[in-house]
Structure 1
Amino acid sequence: MCITDNKADNVFGLELGGKQAARVLRLKLVLERVGVSRSTVYDWMNLNSPRHDPSFPHPIKLSSGSGRCGAVGWIESDLCRWIDSRIAAGWRGRIRTENKSSFGQRGGRAALVATEGDC
């Protein structure tokens, strides 16, 4: 997918023909989006790491560097889907407490209420 140079032809990230333009994020933006360290991201990608996450998106090569050298980036939509899956996994089975008694009353009990998709 190519993004046109003419800004008027690429309004709101859409290419000519109505397709969404793919955005590639470099490591710095990935770290900001995910909120973890560089080493954690590389642990998630390392097959030999105990923290390996096979669902974490693989980067794509951006330059023709040989071996381990060369620029890489992550496709934004892949990263967003991964983040959404982590959010969904974190909210499954989440419980919150609701106070059944009036606020500040002594001896009040809190009830555990299961929530599904509650934000």
Structure 2
Amino acid sequence: MIALAFRTALPGKSCKAFSATRIRLKDIIDSTGLARSTIYTYIDKGAFPAPVSLGERSVGWVEREVHEWILARIEERDLADDAPVRLGRLSVDS
């Protein structure tokens, strides 16, 4: 993970600082289970967060954006008409 601090300014607003954690492709593959080629296909289709240039030959993704994408997939699954009812945690009785 790479943590970067940025200063942003909206038109007519003062600058404010925020920090954003960047993650690399390996972290995304581990988090999503998607292949590299699938991730880039989704990016090309606008269906996955785009990477941010970190240098001449280096990119990273905003961790929050990737996590929001994963949460949106979970929400889509849960809202699907044929999704089974989810009742919280499963437990094994002994």
Give the % identical residues.
Answer: 28
Q: Is the counterpart of residue 42 in structure 1 residue 40 in structure 2?
A: yes
**What corresponds to 1:31 in structure 2?**
29
**What corresponds to 1:13 in structure 2?**
none
**What corresponds to 1:2 in structure 2?**
5
Structure number with greater CO (CA < 8 Å, separation at least 6) is: 2
Change (3 A) 1:95 1:27: closer
Change (3 A) 1:118 1:71: farther
Tell me the C-alpha RMSD between the 2 structures. 2.3
**What corresponds to 1:99 in structure 2?**
none
Q: Is the counterpart of residue 55 in structure 1 residue 47 in structure 2?
A: yes
Q: Deviations over 1:41-87 (max 9, x none)?
A: 011112xxxxx3x2311100000x2xxxx100000001111111010
Higher helix proportion, which one? Answer: 2
TM value normalised by structure 2: 0.66
Q: What's the offset of the Cα at 1:90? A: 1.0
**What corresponds to 2:73 in structure 1?**
86
Which runs of no fewer than 5 residues in structure 1 stay unpaired?
4-18, 47-51, 97-114
Aligned AA for 1:42? Y
Question: Which ranges of 4 or more aligned residues in structure 1 deviate by more than 6 Å?
Answer: none
**What corresponds to 2:14 in structure 1?**
none
Between structure 1 and structure 2, the one with the greater Rg is: 1
Q: Equivalent residue of 2:5, what SS? A: coil
